[in-house]
Amino acid sequence: MPPGTPASERNRFMLLSTELFATPGLYAQLIASTGSTIASGVTVSRFPAPDVCNAMLNSVAAFYASQGITILMGEDTSVFALEWITTFHSRDSTSNNNACAARDRIEALLSRSVVPPGLNENVWTADGLVIRPSIPVPGTVYFPVQPPPAPDNSLSYGSPLHEGESSSGAAVDSGSSSSNPTPVQANTSDNTLMEGVNDHSPLM
């Protein structure tokens, strides 16, 4: 993006780019549906700033095609796009809302699909280049399937307890002497009067 582009517009372009490459097959589908031609060589240029506000997935796809980004190159960025969209957070509420909407759209497709293999998974280490082939990754790696909520067996507030059960859940025998406990007798051995209880005690 050109220098001075507002953060909200930069975030919009990044979110569109991320959704484009994080959604399996979307880049290839848009290239085919719009009739865009992928340039023969890779070039680097900025997306026109005035077009960001009205940018759509198809116009962003056409831009990357004009830069020579092949379908396989796009698939090679899927893992990075998914890592970015699942951790994205902005102080701008509009950007956050757009990111949540993009995540929902990606998850709806990817939770039942796989991330396609890219060019490779080569990495540089202290010992040099480690060559690793790229393999498909289940979408649930990034969007795990949440277990269903546990059934709520608790009683609602104010609901009566089951008949024949005490509050502790143990059955109570109505014929047992323990069901009619002897009431606790107040200790009246001393001469202390409880205010408001004895009819002859003065009210304070």
User: pLDDT for 95-139, tens place per residue?
Assistant: 889 899 999 998 888 877 777 776 667 777 888 888 877 777 776
pLDDT digit string, tens, across residues 162-178: 444 444 444 445 444 44
- Specify the pairing of strand 123-125 against strand 128-130: antiparallel
CA 77/CA 115 separation, integer angstroms: 10
On average, the pLDDT of the chain sits at: 74
pTM, 2 dp: 0.60
Residue 202: pLDDT band with limits 50, 70, 90? very low
Residue positions counted in the chain:
204
pLDDT digit string, tens, across residues 14-35: 999 999 999 988 999 999 998 9
Which residues, other chains included, contact 82 with Cβ-Cβ below 8 Å and sequence gap of 6+?
22, 106, 110, 115, 142
Does residue 186 carry a pLDDT above 80? Answer: no
Enumerate the domain spans of the chain. Answer: 7-141
